[in-house]
Structure 1
Amino acid sequence: MKHGHIIAAFRAVLSIAVLNLEYGIFFSTVMKCHWPTLPARSAHLPAAHVLLITDPQILDRHSYPERSSVLTYLSQVFTDLNMRKSWRAILRKQPGVIFVLGDMMDNGRLAFENDEYEQYYRRYQAIFNSNSIPQFFLPGNHDVGYASPKFSHHVHSRFITHFGPLNSNVQVAGHTFLLIDAPGLAEEDNERTAASLPLTNWHPKPNGTLEFVMNFSRENNSTSIILLTHIPLARSQNADCGPQRERGTIRAGFGMDYQNTLGPDISSFLLDILHPAITVAYSGDDHDYCEYTHPALRNNELDSGTREVTVKSLSMAMGVRRPGFQLLSLAQDAPPSLRSSDKYADTLCHLPDQLGIYLIGYPCVVILSLLAIGWINSPWFRSYTSRSDRKSVLTRWLPMSTSQPHVDHIGRRSSTTSTTSSDEYEDSNSLPRPVAADRRSNDSPRTRNQRSCLGTVFQLIYRPTVWILLSGTSRHPRPRRFWHRFLRDFRDVAIFPIGMFVAVALWVSI
């Protein structure tokens, strides 16, 4: 095989590998995760499909103050690119409705100027364009924050203007999704705790989350309520999160800018006031997956409890190696007698390990490419190919075992090993003239001009393009030194995978 053909093969293989690592693996990973099947008691009912995501937290210039401006910018570029690829693949699942459980922007709570905030928000919209699929949003601590002088006084009004109300309820296929402002609820509960007042003696803040939940419980008659909260509910200190979690568990803790879980009193209040209609609860904030069932003691009888799922973050920058999202199937027109656990089914879907691709996948591809290029430029390989080329040249010029006709100086056909009868010779000379020759001679000048024009286009455009794609190197003589040949081949091979990477990045950014 010629050296140029080997280089062309490397180009094709590496370009396909980059295409797979940059997009194909996202598509195949998401397609392997299917919408969950409803339980047996509701399997005959039609299913509504709901997508749950949380904590994309798109970065900005304030996200990593300890990093240089260049490194911060590169972090934004690559995390945005990762979420664009993930989102394009996720939308192929074609959900009916999308719920985002908070922390859309990493620093939406800061005191931005209006123009800078609008630019920040447009970045989020450009990444998570849902193609007319309805989206509903919860406020997270990175969106509205807690009471702090460094946060903007307009965080709530900005959130309402750009994302929707802080507290709301949404009807989907006979189920009621209750969206609450968990940071506001935690802040109000901390004020109540500081005042040493029980919930029964606490007067809810006007237009606050606690007041909204109490009014909802009085007015709502739904038999299936799905609670959505950014901050997880309280649980025991060492509660197990199940095998899908990457590491650790969710423990109580708080600081100026965060709170790991809601307080135990307010958590019990939410579960009690929504009982028995509450079906399941979903939360975010923790970035990792957690599945936990909250036990409840009501009327001196042990209740089966309420299942809560903490959804994985969608971003590669949130401390999890495998980002993810949640698929939820809901039974439509479910009868009131159906148990809560039979009305829905959900599943965790993982996304590719982007850090692993950058830290392991691409270095392996580069190392294998360097080894292969070094091998084909080694003296042993060159001597082997030289022997193969000489053999092929000798075979090409050796006489064939069969007779080979040729034309003598008079124009008659003859053979070096056999003769042809006069009848056969006369028959061969009496063959009719090819029809193609007659047609070619009858072509009009206009047709011949068109052919010449097309031939010129072929020579100027098509043939150089094919040469660039398939040739291994340029037509200049190959350098004799090993390192010169090595670097030249590396350049010729690398240009196409790099171009493929850039092409995918531009395509998903459209």
Structure 2
Amino acid sequence: MFLLSGKCRWSFTLSMVLSVTSVFIFCEYLIYYPAILQCSWPEIQNGKTSQSPLRALFLSDTHLLGSIKGHWFDKLRREWQMERAFQTAVWVLKPEIIFILGDIFDEGKWSSAKDWEDDVSRFKQIFRHHSDTELVVLIGNHDIGFHHEMTWHKLQRFEKVFNVTSAKILSRRGVNFVLVNSVALHGDHCPICRSVESELHKLSVALNCSVQEHQSESMKRRCQDTQTVPATSPIILQHYPMYRESDAECTGLDAAPLEERHQLFQERYDVLSQEASQRLLWWFKPRLILSGHTHSACQVLHDNKVPEISVPSFSWRNRNNPSFILGTISSSDHRLSKCFLPEESSVIAIYCGSAMALLLLALGHFHLFRGTLSFSSLLGKHKPL
């Protein structure tokens, strides 16, 4: 009888360990697959070009925690979530190019040289990818500081590590992406601001020279020394959104909470200034704008024709339901779709529900085991001679 009880206890213990392990593996590894397998690339027609459309993935505001304000467990939890979500998305969806729209780090504006190297190392581990996939990172205010904190040193160390500049046209398969350091569009003629605005103006001239088929003699002379880019309307990518008063018109599951949508935005802090926004629209005449910074989703229309998509934060630290954007883009058309990650509240609910169920099973087994021992003792006392 005691041998049988020992086997039962061992079998129950093994079952409990397997149950806990299964719940952990599901919540930390497998839960991302059913969420991301529901996502798919939107389809478009090739149109006049023979090139296949480009598959681009857009995410934003990863905010990798630093050594100053980051608690070790918070850092571990959030970064593990982003790593598993990113690696699953890349493996399942196989994007050709990935854009991260700024605020890669949370403390880039404060980081010492040693902390910066540590943050960069963790970023490369979390967002590792195959050589067939291109990763492009944009500058955010937490990476180099808000305008008054921005310095050449912080800007150049970011550009060096991520091989990006504050103003650049990236052309892939006939699609032009204008990469903008929106932190430098403050409009106060600071040295960095002047440099970035000058480069953006040169890029706008290059685009206009490429798009215009019939040019005057003066325009031809002006276009002689400009870089050659595909003759297609560009897509602007930046961290700050274009100017809008608030998120009052934003809707959707990942829009800002209702109580926050009517809060007025501050120019040059929450959004670009009206002047800078209009300058970008006038210079580049984009067909689409993608931005981050607010941590919530929004879609607005500028000048009644140019859509802007605000991409929510990719981190559970900033929202319960992170998401990213899938874009199928050709030289003349584009289609976007949104892919949601598992909600943190769902993962917590699974852990709590499983813990409660296992606790009840353990209590039931304990009472059953005690009952078995009592019955065995009773039999022993009345054993016949």
Range class of TM-score, shorter chain: 0.7 to 0.9
Q: Which has the larger radius of gyration?
A: 1
Residue 203 of structure 2 is matched in structure 1 by: 216
Give the whole-Å Cα distance in 2 for the aligned partners of 1:252 and 1:213. Answer: 28
Number of matched pairs: 343
Provide the secondary structure at the position in 2 that maps to 1:215: helix
| Equivalent position SS for 2:236 | strand
1:231 — aligned with what?
A: 240
One-letter amino acid of the structure 2 residue matched with residue 157 of structure 1: Q
Q: Distance in 2 between matches of 1:264 and 1:313?
A: 24
Q: How does 1:33-48 map to 2 (within 5 A)?
A: 33-38=39-44, 46-48=52-54
| SS at 2:31 equivalent | helix
Map of 2:320 onto structure 1: 321
CA distance in 1, matches of 2:35, 2:13: 31
Distance change in 2, residues 1:386/1:168 (3 Å): farther
User: What is the letter of the counterpart of residue 359 of structure 2?
Assistant: L
Residue aligning to 2:95: 95
Deviates more, 1:50-59 or 1:7-16: 7-16
Asked whether the 8 Å contact 1:35–1:49 carries over to 2, the reply is yes
- Report the alpha carbon displacement of residue 47 of structure 1 after superposing the two structures with TM: 2.4
**Secondary structure, counterpart of 1:17 in structure 2:** helix
How far apart, CA to CA, are the structure 2 residues paired with 1:311 and 1:285?
8
Please state whether the residue corresponding to 2:123 is helix, strand or coil.
helix
SS of the residue 1:207 aligns to? helix
Residue 265 of structure 1, aligned match among 266, 272, 275: 275
Report what 2:301 is aligned to: 293
Q: Hey, what does 2:142 align to over in structure 1? A: 142
Q: Judge conservation of contact 1:138–1:180 (CA < 8 Å) in 2.
A: yes
Alignment of 1:371 onto 2:377 = no
Q: Using a 3 Å threshold, how does the CA distance of structure 1 residues 229 and 291 change in structure 2: closer, same or farther?
A: same
Q: How does 1:337-356 map to 2 (within 5 A)?
A: 343-356=333-346
Percent of residue pairs identical:
20
Q: In the alignment, is residue 357 of structure 1 matched against residue 354 of structure 2?
A: no
Map of 1:501 onto structure 2: none
The alpha-carbon deviation at position 224 of structure 1 amounts to 2.7
The unaligned stretches of length 5 or more in structure 2 are: 211-230, 380-385
1:312-348 Cα distance to aligned partner (Å, 9 max, x none):
1111112x101111111113xx4xxx5xxxx111111
* Cα pair 2:238 2:292 within 8 Å, conserved: yes
- Deviation (angstroms), 1:238: 5.3
Q: How does 1:192-207 map to 2 (within 5 A)?
A: 206-207=194-195
Match of 1:18 in 2: 24
TM-score (norm 2): 0.80
Pairwise CA distance, 1:273: 2.4
For the residue of structure 1 that corresponds to 2:232, the secondary structure is coil
State the partner residue of 2:265. Answer: 253
- Residue type of the alignment partner of 1:218: V
Cα distance between partner residues in 2 of 1:383 and 1:119? 57
| Matched residue, 2:249 | 240
Distance in 1 between residues matched to 2:272 and 2:151, nearest whole Å: 23
State the one-letter code of the partner of 1:37: E
Contact 2:246 2:264 in 1 (8 A): yes
Other structure's SS at 2:130 match: coil
How far apart in 2 are the matches of 1:43 and 1:32?
30
Secondary structure of the 1:20 match is helix
Secondary structure of the residue aligned to 1:143 is helix
**Counterpart residue type for residue 53 of structure 2:** A
User: Aligned partners of 2:130, 2:175: CA distance in 1, in Å?
Assistant: 24
Q: Secondary structure at the match of 1:268?
A: helix
- Residue pair 1:39, 1:344 contacting (<8 A) in 2 also: no
Task: Give 3-state SS (helix, strand or coil) of 1:32's partner.
Answer: coil
Q: Amino acid of the residue matched to residue 136 of structure 1?
A: V
What CA distance in whole angstroms lies between the structure 1 residues aligned with 2:111 and 2:11? 59
Q: Which residue of 1 aligns with 2:121?
A: 122
Unaligned runs of 5+ residues in structure 1 are: 65-71, 195-202, 297-303, 391-510
Match of 1:51 in 2: 57
